[in-house]
């Protein structure tokens, strides 16, 4: 049995014992009942997290983990920021994004959100685990920023707005680099497919005409 379950059961029994003045035998029975309920709650939480894990694996497929783009991370941060600006809590704003997306990022964040809500881990630890699973450095920064802001009571919406701008700029730079590499990548099909056909179309008639002379 896990330590949080045992602690919860003991605290529950102690509170009942103090409040009602029951004897130790009755308090022990109540503690056992509380312990069974706590075990059921913990098992239900683990089953929900496992179900979300299975859904995420099904979305990824057998071909390995799918890449999460910086554009999708920036979109997620914008949705969370707008939710915070509208007066929602961080969890509620994140759940809005997860409920309206079926991507790998949304499923993994939904699993992380469920994990810290049932007490499997802390919010920052679960977000960092999601960032490591998806191999996205921007998500690690997002997790640290959210954890520190919520722990210190700092305004989170303005910080997320600045972070979203930085991620969009990084995504734009990555797209521009891919565009710059495109001509180099086109050299291989051009040299192996197009140039031989072009040479044959030009030299073929010339060689044929030279053979006829």
109 shares a domain with 92 = yes
CB 108 within 8 A of CB 130: yes
Range in 73-82, 155-164, 177-186 with the lowest mean pLDDT = 177-186
**Taking each helix axis from N to C terminus, what angle separates 90-99 and 70-85, rounded to the nearest 10 degrees?**
130
167 shares a domain with 142 = no
Domain assignment present for 161: yes
In this prediction, residue 170 carries a pLDDT of 85
Domain boundary (98, 131, 151) is at 151
Range in 98-112, 136-150, 182-196 with the lowest mean pLDDT = 182-196
In this prediction, residue 25 carries a pLDDT of 62
Q: Between 86 and 209, whose confidence is greater? A: 86
Buried b (16+ CB within 10 A) or exposed e, 30-40: bbeebbeebbe
178 shares a domain with 125 = no
CB 66 within 8 A of CB 104: yes
CB 155 within 8 A of CB 149: yes
- Residue numbers of the domain that contains 164: 154-191
Range in 6-20, 118-132, 156-170, 192-206 with the lowest mean pLDDT = 6-20
144 shares a domain with 131 = yes
CB 2 within 8 A of CB 20: no
How many structural domains does the chain have? 2
Residue 61 CA: distances (Å) to CA of 49, 57, 65, 66, 103? 18, 6, 8, 8, 12
In this prediction, residue 26 carries a pLDDT of 59
Domain assignment present for 211: no
91 shares a domain with 136 = yes
Domain assignment present for 174: yes
In this prediction, residue 29 carries a pLDDT of 62
Q: CA quadruple 164, 166, 172, 178: dihedral positive or negative?
A: negative
Would you place residue 49 in the very low, low, confident or very high pLDDT band (cuts 50, 70, 90)? low
Alpha-carbon gap, residue 105 to 134, rounded angstroms: 8
162 shares a domain with 135 = no
Domain assignment present for 57: no
Would you place residue 173 in the very low, low, confident or very high pLDDT band (cuts 50, 70, 90)? confident
Inform me whether the pLDDT recorded for 1 exceeds 60.
no
The full DSSP string for 59-127 is HH-TT-PPP--HHHHHHHHHHHHHHHHTT--HHHHHHHHHHT--SHHHHHHHHHHHHHHTTSS-HHHHH
181 shares a domain with 139 = no
Would you place residue 138 in the very low, low, confident or very high pLDDT band (cuts 50, 70, 90)? confident
Domain assignment present for 158: yes
Q: What is the mean predicted confidence (pLDDT) over 86-94?
A: 91
Inform me whether the pLDDT recorded for 47 exceeds 70.
no
Q: For the chain, what percentages of helix, strand and coil (3-state, to nearest 5) are there?
A: 85, 0, 15
pLDDT digits (tens, 9 = 90+) for 9-45: 444 544 544 445 555 565 566 556 555 555 555 555 5
136 shares a domain with 81 = yes
């Amino acid at each position: 049995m896990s330590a949080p379950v045992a602690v919860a059961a003991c605290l529950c029994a102690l509170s009942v014992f103090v409040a009602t003045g029951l004897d130790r035998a009755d308090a022990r029975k109540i503690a056992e009942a509380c312990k069974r309920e706590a075990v059921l709650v913990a098992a239900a939480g683990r089953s929900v997290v496992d179900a979300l894990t299975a859904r995420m694996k099904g979305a990824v497929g057998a071909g390995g983990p799918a890449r999460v783009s910086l554009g999708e991370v920036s979109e997620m941060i914008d949705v969370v920021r707008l939710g915070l600006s509208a007066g929602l809590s961080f969890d509620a704003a994140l759940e809005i994004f997860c409920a309206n997306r079926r991507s790998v990022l949304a499923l993994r964040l939904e699993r992380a959100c469920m994990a810290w809500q049932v007490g499997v881990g802390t919010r920052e630890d679960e977000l960092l685990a999601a960032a490591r699973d998806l191999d996205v450095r921007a998500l690690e920064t997002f997790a640290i920023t959210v954890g520190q802001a919520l722990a210190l009571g700092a305004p989170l919406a303005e910080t997320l707005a600045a972070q979203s701008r930085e991620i969009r700029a990084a995504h734009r730079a990555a797209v521009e680099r891919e565009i710059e590499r495109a001509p180099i990548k086109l050299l291989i099909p051009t040299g192996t497919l197009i140039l031989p056909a072009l040479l044959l179309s030009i030299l073929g008639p010339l060689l044929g005409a030279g053979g006829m002379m």
